[in-house]
Every structure is written in structure tokens, then in C-alpha cells.
Amino acid sequence: MPSHLHFTSMTLGMAPPATPLPLIGVMGGTFDPIHFGHLRMAQELAESLGLAEVRFIPSATPPHREQPMTSATQRAEMVALAIAGNPLFKLDTQELERQGYSYTIDTLQFLHEGLQGKARLCLLMGMDAFAGITSWHRWQELLQFAHIVVTTRPGAALPSSNLVLDAFLQTHMLSDAQQLPIQAEHGIWVQEITALDISATKIRESLAYGCTPRYLVPDKVLEFICQHDLYSGTSRY
């Protein structure tokens, strides 16, 4: 009788360990305009979660808010200027090329099918966006195509007033970020990031009143805003 036995997952009838796959962050938004809050969030998540890249996807026709003040092409150009020089960041204009509303579920499905199982998607969003996710088109299907990564500020509480959202979170919450690259069944991960209270709405309002958003947006973005006189009252900066 052999002095020792070698058991493998196949011998015991267990599934072999999942192979870690690269993680691709998906960051959608109107980016009207893109600012350092967006960029810092993407950078911190890329570093803390080991993302292979982050795709910035400007929304052409957002279904959940008023239509942007600038054209889709202008917003995409501002994103391109903002992320230039960062090899982790990529501009994806697929929503600008589709007709009708820009639904996140359509974007994720398109990306998921294109990857053909060679990487996993992580939909990146802030807590405010996650709190309203139950109003999104086909929101229950999002986890079919991507993990959801929700950012929160240190000490902030998770939403608890929405029972449907609370149940969704508790059912799919991951216990460890290391599950993201290996778990085929998508889940939700909550990640603390630096609190930067920067709002595109406030930036537009400041510009309308003739104030400068310098140090809130990248210099190249501010130059573009001034060059094209976007949001009014900006040409002197």
C-alpha cells in the first residue's frame, strides 16, 4: 500500500480552481465635463483592485437625467484630453455610435461578448449612482455581464432605506476583492476611496457665473472649455 496519496480536484470530483482573469474597469457617465473626481476614482480603483485598464464610456443620450449641455463629441474630446498620458485609461465611444438611449446593460453586454471570456468586467460607480440603480433599464441583469464595484467615502454608510436594493446588495456582496478576477459568478464589491467633493454640476454653475474651475478639471480640459466657450462665461480663463 502506498505510503501517501496525491489527491487532486479532479480525483475528488471537484471543479478545478478558477484561473484569474484580467479585470477591466468600465466607467460610464455624461462627463459634462470630466473632472478630477472621475479621474482619481478610476486611478485608485485601478491600483487597489489591480485593473488591467479602465474604459471611460461617455453617454450619448443618458436616460436618467437631463440632456448634457455639450455635444457627445465634445464630451468625448474632453475625456480624451483628460486621460492622455495614462496607459491604464482608454476612451470607448461605443455609446456615441448607437441610436437611442445609452443603456448600461447594452454596453456591458457588448463588451462582455467581445471579450470572449478572456477578461472580467467591473462596472465602476459611486454610492449615489448605486443608490438609484433599481431605476435602471434591466438592472437585475447587470451581474450577468460584470461585477459591480461601488465606491464609498471612509465612514459612509451603505444605503438601507431601499429594501430591494438592500436585498440585492446582501445577496451578491463579495467577501474579498480577490474574488473579482477568479469568480465567474459576478458579485458586488464596495471599495473605500479618497473623498473628493467635486461635482460636474457645480463646475458648470461656476463657469456660468464667470468663475474658474481651475484645479477641479485638468488644464487641457479647461483649455478646451474656454476655446469652445462651453457652459458660457468661460472665455476669459
Residue 22 pLDDT > 80: yes
Q: Residue 17's pLDDT is what?
A: 57
218 assigned to some structural domain = no
Task: Show the domain range for 40.
Answer: 23-197
Give the pLDDT mean for 90-111.
93
Cis ω on the peptide bond leading into residue 33 (within 30° of 0)?
Answer: yes
Q: What is the pLDDT of residues 58-80, one digit of tens each?
A: 998 887 667 788 999 999 999 99
27 assigned to some structural domain = yes
Those residues with Cβ within 8 angstroms of residue 213's Cβ, 6 or more apart along the chain or in another chain: 35, 203, 206, 207, 222
Residue 233 pLDDT > 70: no
216 assigned to some structural domain = no
Domain count, the chain: 1
Give the pLDDT mean for 39-48.
98
Going by DSSP bridges, is the β-strand pair 53-58/23-29 parallel, antiparallel, or unpaired? parallel
CATH of the domain at 172: 3.40.50.620
123 assigned to some structural domain = yes
193 assigned to some structural domain = yes
12 assigned to some structural domain = no
Q: Residue 66's pLDDT is what?
A: 75
Higher pLDDT, 9 or 182: 182
* Alpha-carbon distance values, 236 to 45, 93, 113, 135 (Å): 35, 30, 46, 40
Q: How crowded is residue 150: how many other Cβ atoms within 10 Å of its Cβ?
A: 22
220 assigned to some structural domain = no
Q: Residue 235's pLDDT is what?
A: 42
The conformation of residue 126, written as its DSSP 8-state character, comes to E
